Structure 1
Amino acid sequence: MKILFILPEYYPHSGGGISTYYLELIPALKPYCTSIKVLVGSGYTQSIESFTNNGIEVSYLKPDLYKQYLQKFSKFSIFPELQKNIAAAWAMWEQVKDEDFDLIECTDFGLGFIPWLIHHNKPVAIKMHGSTGQISNYDYKPEEQLASDFVRQTELLFFAKCNLLQTYSKANQAFWQKQIQDKEVVQLYPVYSKVTKTIPYSERTTFGLVTGRIQQWKGPQILCDAAEILKDKMPEVHWYGRDMAYKKHGASMNEYLNKQYPDNWNISIKTNKPVPNQEIHNLQAKAKFGLIPSTWDMFNFTCLEFLSAGTLTICSDGAGASELIENGVNGFKYTAQDAQALSEVLNKVASLNQKEYEQIANNGKETVCNSLSPKQLIPAHLEYYFNTIKKFIPTISNDFLNEVYLPSNRKHKLDDLLDLQQLSLLLKYNLKRIKNKILNKFN
């Protein structure tokens, strides 16, 4: 079996969830495949790099090819992110279209699946990690909603055409099964084998740890609300992650939280800039407890990283990884967006003695070893791949979809869309934007 993976991120340039997932899955599949190739690219990732890593060929989207295709989607210039990702998808298709593969696997994030389902002459699997459309629901930005609506329609159209839809949380499986009722959505937990030596209880830090972006749906507000409930009983928590925009351009989540929660944010909850992955793993292994306060997360691999390090883990049930936790047995979980419930769990963890702590943490580590090992999961992955290839029947292209999604040499100018707007609206907008530019310059 020869598999091509079309990914928006992969080793060695990203520590995101998609990259983490495939850094485990692909090497585990390698012994059972004739060849595996990984092509990495998106509207934000291009490179001339190409190398082999443990027998796996890894190439990146070529920058010059990407630039050529960017011009072929000028009609989407009003939505720059959409234009970039569709152009990247087609450029990646162009880069490897003449190579021989039995199956192509794409992710639901980044629209890389589009050309493979337009030219549907090979079976296509889509792995559902948390789609662009889903994320826009939880990270609401008014200025991006029209583009997000288009992306959601695109996802529904193309997901229904693919040959294998697979995800790794039961909650996400149920979500997509509701949206696409005529097609089976398969759920298989992710392969995870990075189990590390447990740091002794006496050598651990005194603080809890969150490792993730400072972003609305990652749950910093819920954690702050819990801190306000606990007051001086709130345990110290360190948050490592990149600061993200909050609702409107120019404002950040960190700035908002500093103003909204001055007694807790950067006081009992201390923020830190992102650090290299190895340093993060060392921090996770030494933390008193790991915390995932997400109001929603398709899965969240930091939960597995904490569990596999033997660090007691608290996880919101809004994160798919919480499905692996039996409350009070191998970790703790609480109802997402319930600050009172989180405060009670934090209080409970603080009251555990060493024996209780070690028992729960060790059970969490065993859960990862027993439930997520390649030996346990790879046979099921292979069975779905082989059955998908066996049942595949090529389909003819759809003229309407071609009109929307095929690259074109026709030139479209943003001016043409602006000409359709009332002049009074454009004048008001220009005055407002000039005013904001001046204010931002002097603030």
Structure 2
Amino acid sequence: MNILFILPEYYPHSGGGISTYYQHYIPALKSSVGQIKVIVGSGYVQSEDTYNLDGIEIEYLKPAIYSKYLTAFSRFDLLPEFRNNLAAAWAMYEQTNYGKGFDIIECTDFALGFIPWVVERKKPVVTRMHGSSGQITFKENDIQNTLQNDFVRQTELLLLPQCDTLISHSSANKHWWESLISKEIAHIFPVYHTAASAPIPFSERDNYGIVTARIQVWKGPVQLCQAVSDTKDGIKPIKWYGRDTSYSEYGSMSAYLQHTFPSVWNKTVLPENAVQNDEARELQSKALFGVICSTWDMFNFTCLEFMAAGTPVVCSDGAGVSELIRHGVNGFKYEAQNSNELAECLKRVSALGKDEFDEVTAAGIATVRQELSAGKLMPENLHQYEKASADFKPTIANDFMRHMYSPSDHHTDIGSTLDGQPVKQLAKYLVKRIRSKRSKR
């Protein structure tokens, strides 16, 4: 069986959850199949890079092919992010010679790479649910109500059910999607390898906890600051390593936190610059504890990184990975929106002595090794591939879907859409746009 992976990111060039997942999964799969090839690209990522990593052929979406397809989707110029990802998806479809020589196409729900494969219906498609583009914007309460985001979500509702197999590594995410699209989704935990070296001893740990995540609303910085604010003492300092993000009229999430929690943000919870993967792993292995305070997260591999490094973790039940946490045994778990529970977990993990620290970390490492081993999980993954291949029958493309989501030789001028808007409204917008540009000079 030969498998072609269509991915928006892949290690070592990205440290996101998708690349982390496949960094562990693809090497574990290699010995059980024939050929594996990875094509990396999206509306955000194109490159001339082609290389071999541990025997896996990796090729990036070529900029020239991507540019060609951008012009073929000019009708979506009003939705630039959607247009870019759609163009990237079809460009990768052409670049791979439409999957020739491969038995299974594996895609992700993020960045819409699955679209041409399910529209044309020539190869069986397995799509992993990592947190879709529409799903993520839905959780960003500051940006969810836009035409572009609504169109992405509508597209996912229409086309994800057309995939031959859907797989999620989070039970909560599986059930959430099943309630929306009425299609059965398989649940398989991610394969994850622990480090061979022993954890850093308790006595050599840094005397603070850490978060490694974007400073973003659904990553839970508000809930963390609220928990620390409500607790006068007993919580160790917490360093937050991650990129700041935009947030409403405050400009950034960090600015909002500074305004709302002036006695906590930059005092007990300390924002730090984002770091590269290797440095993040070192910080995680030396920290006294880790915190996953997401109000929602499809899974969250950072939690596994803490556990595998022998670092106790406090984890919100809003993160899919929390189903692996047994409270007080291999970590600490709290209800996502309950800042009081979070505060109690932070006080408890801050007060751990050596013996309890060692017990919790040993249990965390054991959980990863036992529940997420390739030996345990690969048979079910292989079964899903075999089933998708056996059940697949090429069909004629749906005319409506092909018309909506395929490239076109006809160029659409954005002016044809603007012509339908009131001149007064366009003039007001133009004045506002010019003033905004001038103020940024």
Aligned twin of 2:146: 145
SS at structure 2 position matched to 1:298: coil
Aligned twin of 1:121: 122
- Aligned equivalents of 2:314 and 2:348: distance in 1? 11
* Contact in 2 for aligned 1:140/1:247 (Cα 8 Å): no
Aligned twin of 1:131: 132
SS at structure 2 position matched to 1:290: strand
Gaps of 5+ in 2: none
SS at structure 1 position matched to 2:361: helix
What is the identity, as a one-letter code, of the residue corresponding to 1:233?
G
Q: CA separation of 1:10/1:279 partners in 2, compared to 1, >3 Å: closer, same or farther?
A: same
What is the identity, as a one-letter code, of the residue corresponding to 2:208?
F
Deviation at 1:430, TM superposition (A): 2.1
TM-score by length of 2: 0.97
Q: Give me the identity figure in percent.
A: 50
Aligned twin of 1:50: 50
Matches within 5 A, 1:238-257: 238-247=239-248, 251-257=251-257
Matches within 5 A, 1:305-324: 305-324=305-324
TM-score by length of 1: 0.97
* Contact in 1 for aligned 2:137/2:144 (Cα 8 Å): no
Matches within 5 A, 1:166-181: 166-181=167-182
Deviation at 1:384, TM superposition (A): 1.0
* Contact in 1 for aligned 2:194/2:369 (Cα 8 Å): no
Aligned twin of 2:202: 201
* Contact in 2 for aligned 1:236/1:269 (Cα 8 Å): yes
Deviation at 1:383, TM superposition (A): 1.0
Deviation at 1:113, TM superposition (A): 0.5
Deviation at 1:348, TM superposition (A): 1.6
Deviation at 1:44, TM superposition (A): 1.0
Q: Which moved more, 1:347-356 or 1:11-20?
A: 347-356
> For residues 182-204 of structure 1, what are the alpha-carbon distances to aligned partners after superposition, in whole Å with 9 as ceiling and x for unaligned?
x2100000000133421000000
Matches within 5 A, 1:368-407: 368-407=368-407
* Contact in 1 for aligned 2:3/2:104 (Cα 8 Å): yes
SS at structure 1 position matched to 2:207: coil
Aligned twin of 1:20: 20
- Aligned equivalents of 1:5 and 1:151: distance in 2? 22
Deviation at 1:351, TM superposition (A): 2.5
* Contact in 2 for aligned 1:73/1:87 (Cα 8 Å): yes
SS at structure 2 position matched to 1:160: helix
Aligned twin of 1:110: 111
Gaps of 5+ in 1: none
Q: CA separation of 1:395/1:171 partners in 2, compared to 1, >3 Å: closer, same or farther?
A: same
- Aligned equivalents of 1:274 and 1:207: distance in 2? 17
Following TM superposition, the consecutive aligned residue runs of length 4 or more in structure 1 with deviations greater than 6 angstroms are none
- Aligned equivalents of 2:84 and 2:379: distance in 1? 37
Aligned twin of 2:288: 288
* Contact in 2 for aligned 1:210/1:238 (Cα 8 Å): yes
Deviation at 1:433, TM superposition (A): 2.7
SS at structure 1 position matched to 2:46: coil
Deviation at 1:143, TM superposition (A): 7.6
What is the identity, as a one-letter code, of the residue corresponding to 2:256?
Y
* Contact in 1 for aligned 2:38/2:59 (Cα 8 Å): yes
